[in-house]
Amino acid sequence: MKKIIVASILMFSGFINAQNFQGVAVYESKTSTADFMRGISGNREITPEMQKQMEERMKKMFEKTFVLNFDKTASIYKEEEKLDAPGQQGGGRMMMSMMGGGGTFYKNAKDKQYIVDKEIFGKEFLIKDSLPKYNWKLEGESKQIGNYTCFKATAVVKVSESDFRNFRFRNRNNENKEDEKKSETIKDTAKAKKTNFTDDWELPKENTITAWYCPEIPVNQGPENYWGLPGLILEVNDGKTVILCSKLVLNSKEKVEIKPATKGKVVTQKEYDETIKKKMEEMREMNSGPGSGNRMQFRMSR
């Protein structure tokens, strides 16, 4: 396990309660690509060379570094800035956004509100909504993350429909024989029609989250939209994605202004999810017709 680099370990109550208290945590996010590659490998049109290139690209897309700046009540979580790699414009940028990247995630634990700015195909959104309520179960189990003793907590949550990381590859082997026969009949009568690989994906309704929080740092903040525990969350695992703190600095001389973004069309999380679902349907339709190839382009409605 990667050790946390501790720049300051002055854990006095007065230190945390100081008016100008601020900290910064760096998180490494890694998402398993097994489901995605299993779906791709079933496509006969993809050569071994193409699959290898996809695996390399997937790995880069699913391994990210984020920075969390926080004080006693609020935080800003943002992906570490990098130069855009080739192919990260258009549909690639949308996929990045749908996998937890892009934009600035602002959380205010006092007001119980979050604000996220997202840009997709040149259209800016400003998602404003109430922080999700986690029914955390404190397990009592502990482990060391770097120099800190952390405690385990779990919660069952409703999955986000706009986060592509939540999709699972459907196991066709578990379907009954009737469905298999029906599927074969469809294949036989529509050989000329190009199918879409997204037909093999499904979205679970709920997911179990495991978090490890540090009471030594008594702020109820964490990466992404995770919060509400009696200590900074240093690790989160949802079964596919692991977010682990790799560096922690407390009360650095360099202060960061913790405030939300203000640009973009204001929408709720539900409205944003509906927009993403609509665009995903457009992508499916454009890639399911004969001769569509790998076309993934569409326009955002203004």
> Poorest-confidence range of 35-39, 65-69, 135-139, 173-177?
173-177
Of 32-46, 52-66, 215-229, the range with the lowest mean pLDDT is 32-46
| Angle between helix 91-98 and helix 269-286 axes, rounded to 10 deg | 140
Residue pair 212/120 in contact by the 8 Å Cβ criterion: no
**What pLDDT is attached to residue 189?**
44
Within a domain: 291 = no
Q: Any idea which of 7-16, 74-83, 257-266 has the lowest mean pLDDT?
A: 7-16
Q: What is the pLDDT of residue 108?
A: 96
Q: How many distinct structural domains can be found in the chain? A: 1
Provide the terminal-to-terminal Cα distance of the chain, rounded to the nearest Å.
46
35: in domain: yes
Determine contact, residues 95/85, Cβ cutoff 8 Å: no
- The answer to whether residue 299 is domain-embedded is no
292 located within any domain: no
Residue ranges making up the domain that contains 84: 5-286
139 within domain boundaries: yes
Average pLDDT of the segment spanning 168-179: 51
Average confidence (pLDDT) over 242-254: 91
**pLDDT in the model for residue 101:** 53
Better-predicted residue by pLDDT, 108 or 39: 108
Within a domain: 211: yes
At 185, the pLDDT band (50, 70, 90 cuts) reads very low
pLDDT band at residue 115 using 50, 70 and 90 as cut-offs: very high
Please indicate, yes or no, if residue 295 is contained in any of the structural domains. Answer: no
- Asked if the structure places residue 195 within a domain, the reply is yes
Q: How would you classify residue 146: left for phi > 0, otherwise alpha for psi between -120 and 50, otherwise beta? A: left
Non-local (6+) Cβ contacts of 251 within 8 A are 8, 10, 15, 18, 20, 21, 22, 23
Given a cut of 90, whether residue 231 has pLDDT beyond it is: yes
Q: H or E stretch including 189?
A: helix 177-189
Q: Summarize the confidence of residues 51-58 as an average pLDDT.
A: 71
